[in-house]
């Protein structure tokens, strides 16, 4: 069941007509469905219920406080990659004891902040980071819970920009040195070996790469156990893909079943860090059609949203489904490129699409919840988009549209 459906000729989010949202809040606007978010959270929780687990929502995929707060209330943990994300989680009512901190470049200051608020686990990504964590833990006189992010050399078979588990990626430490690093960590009184961490990539539409990675992580787990180094949790990261066009990713239940099977006799918790699959299809981005024109035989539909609001098509050539929130009885479909107002040739939302559109129509870009608003910017001095959450027949503005003064309020002129 989807919560973005046509009733008659109008597209709705739950019980609210999307054209009404566009009228009330203006465009561009990100519109989330609370019921869809709740359903996705439940699906992930349910998929791991046979084992002690922690679902850590990857905050980078969608960092709005209302989204984080909803997840926190339903008991999820979080995966953060910066002090800013950790502060967001706390500001939204999340529990730092359920937060894991990933990232290749954590600064000493960020590590200090994370340890001072009682982070669940620091996912260490290099030998030098171990030294920094030791220094900070000694300074604070605490025992730091840590995992090593191990790069298992597995091909996630996804876009090269979002593939992270190959030997030539900057992420994690290689399998070869992980064992020795764990021995070093185990000897440090101010460090506690908490887990083994791994994240091989994003938008994976097959369950095979993660199973291959799990086998490699389990081999390390066994080796550590024999050495007397006990692991509390195995973190298999995020990466489960979604349907943007015709992809058929497994459900969370199908995706994690072989992993749970492999862990069933082990006294170890499983952590996961889903981002995209939690939020992508719980949201649409609404944009208004401003103009249409024909250039050299190509039909362009020009909207009021662009790559500053949603950068995925420009950055990765991502396909995002675009539909009209109003189905017209008259007129006919034309093949068109749907573009934005930004002064860059890759400022497009979709290419060669068939749409029946009139000026003033509200288009909906589906699957916009993940890496949509969280990657938006003010490029071309455009205001960051407004965000709205729908709960049945009610709407809540969960992020006001910026004012222009907001954009330059921290700048100053030489006197």
Instruction: Tell me if 253 sits within 8 A of 46, measured CB to CB.
Output: yes
Could you tell me the CA-to-CA distances from 218 to 125, 198, 214, 319, 379 in Å, in that order? Answer: 19, 11, 6, 35, 45
Q: Interface residues for ligand LLP in 158-177 (CB under 6 A)?
A: 162
Build a one-symbol-per-residue string for 191-230: x at contacts with ligand LLP by CB under 6 A, - elsewhere: --------x--xx---------------------------
Q: Interface residues for ligand LLP in 38-67 (CB under 6 A)?
A: 58, 61
Note if 343 is an active site residue: yes
**Least distance (Å) from ligand LLP to the CB of residue 61?**
5
Residues in contact with ligand LLP, counted by CB under 6 A, come to a total of 21
Instruction: Tell me if 234 sits within 8 A of 16, measured CB to CB.
Output: no
Could you tell me the CA-to-CA distances from 26 to 305, 320, 370 in Å, in that order? Answer: 11, 21, 21
Q: Put residue 367 in one of left, alpha, beta given phi > 0 → left and psi -120 to 50 → alpha.
A: left
Work out which of 145, 152, 239, 252 binds ligand LLP, going by CB under 6 A: 239
Cα–Cα nearest to 358, from 394, 397, 327, 382: 327
> Number of H helices and number of E strands within the chain?
12, 21
**Least distance (Å) from ligand LLP to the CB of residue 138?**
27
Stretch that binds ligand LLP, among 110-118, 261-269, 273-281, 340-348 (CB under 6 A): 273-281
**Least distance (Å) from ligand LLP to the CB of residue 56?**
8
Q: Which is nearer to ligand LLP, 53 or 288 (CB)?
A: 53
Instruction: Tell me if 123 sits within 8 A of 102, measured CB to CB.
Output: yes
Name, in order, each residue with C-beta under 8 angstroms of 136's C-beta and a sequence gap of 6 or more.
108, 111, 112, 115, 144
Q: Which of 121, 190, 198, 343 is catalytic?
A: 343
Stretch that binds ligand LLP, among 175-183, 268-276, 282-290, 400-408 (CB under 6 A): 268-276
Stretch that binds ligand LLP, among 11-19, 206-214, 275-283, 293-301 (CB under 6 A): 275-283
Work out which of 275, 306, 313, 350 binds ligand LLP, going by CB under 6 A: 275
Instruction: Tell me if 376 sits within 8 A of 309, measured CB to CB.
Output: yes
Residues annotated as catalytic are: 343
């Amino acid at each position: 069941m989807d919560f973005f459906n046509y009733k008659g000729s109008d597209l709705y989010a739950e019980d609210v007509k999307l054209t009404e949202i566009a009228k009330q809040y203006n465009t561009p606007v990100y519109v989330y469905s609370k019921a869809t978010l709740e359903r996705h959270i439940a699906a992930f929780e349910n998929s791991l219920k046979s084992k002690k687990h922690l679902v850590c929502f990857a905050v980078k995929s969608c960092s709005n406080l209302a989204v984080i707060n909803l997840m926190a209330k339903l008991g999820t943990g979080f995966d953060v990659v910066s002090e800013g994300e950790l502060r967001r989680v706390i500001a939204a009512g999340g529990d730092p004891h359920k937060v894991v901190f990933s990232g290749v470049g954590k600064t000493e200051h960020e590590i200090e902040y994370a340890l001072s608020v009682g982070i669940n686990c620091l996912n260490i990504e290099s030998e030098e980071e171990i030294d920094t964590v030791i220094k900070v833990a000694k300074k604070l006189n605490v025992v730091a819970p840590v995992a090593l992010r191990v790069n298992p050399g597995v091909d996630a078979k996804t876009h090269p920009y979002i593939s992270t588990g190959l030997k030539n990626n900057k992420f994690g430490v290689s399998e070869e040195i992980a064992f020795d690093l764990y021995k070093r960590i185990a000897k440090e009184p101010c460090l506690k070996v908490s887990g083994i961490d791994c994240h091989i990539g994003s938008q994976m539409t097959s369950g095979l790469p993660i199973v291959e990675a799990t086998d490699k992580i389990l081999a390390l787990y066994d080796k550590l156990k024999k050495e007397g180094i006990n692991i509390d949790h195995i973190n298999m990261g995020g990466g489960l893909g979604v349907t943007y066009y015709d992809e058929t990713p497994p459900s969370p239940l199908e995706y994690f079943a072989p992993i749970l099977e492999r862990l069933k006799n082990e006294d170890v918790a499983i952590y996961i860090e889903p981002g995209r699959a939690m939020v992508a299809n719980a949201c649409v981005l609404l944009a208004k059609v401003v103009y249409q024109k024909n250039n050299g035989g190509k039909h362009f539909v020009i909207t009021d949203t662009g790559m500053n609001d949603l950068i995925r098509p420009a950055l990765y050539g991502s396909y995002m489904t675009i539909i009209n929130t109003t189905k017209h009885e008259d007129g006919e479909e034309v093949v068109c490129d749907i573009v934005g107002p930004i002064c860059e040739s890759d400022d497009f939302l979709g290419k060669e699409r068939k749409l029946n559109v009139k000026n003033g129509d509200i288009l909906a870009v589906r699957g916009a919840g993940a890496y949509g608003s969280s990657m938006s910017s003010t490029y071309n001095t455009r205001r960051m988009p407004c965000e709205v959450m729908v709960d049945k027949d009610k709407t809540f503005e969960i992020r006001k549209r910026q004012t222009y003064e907001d954009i330059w309020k921290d700048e100053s002129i030489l006197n």
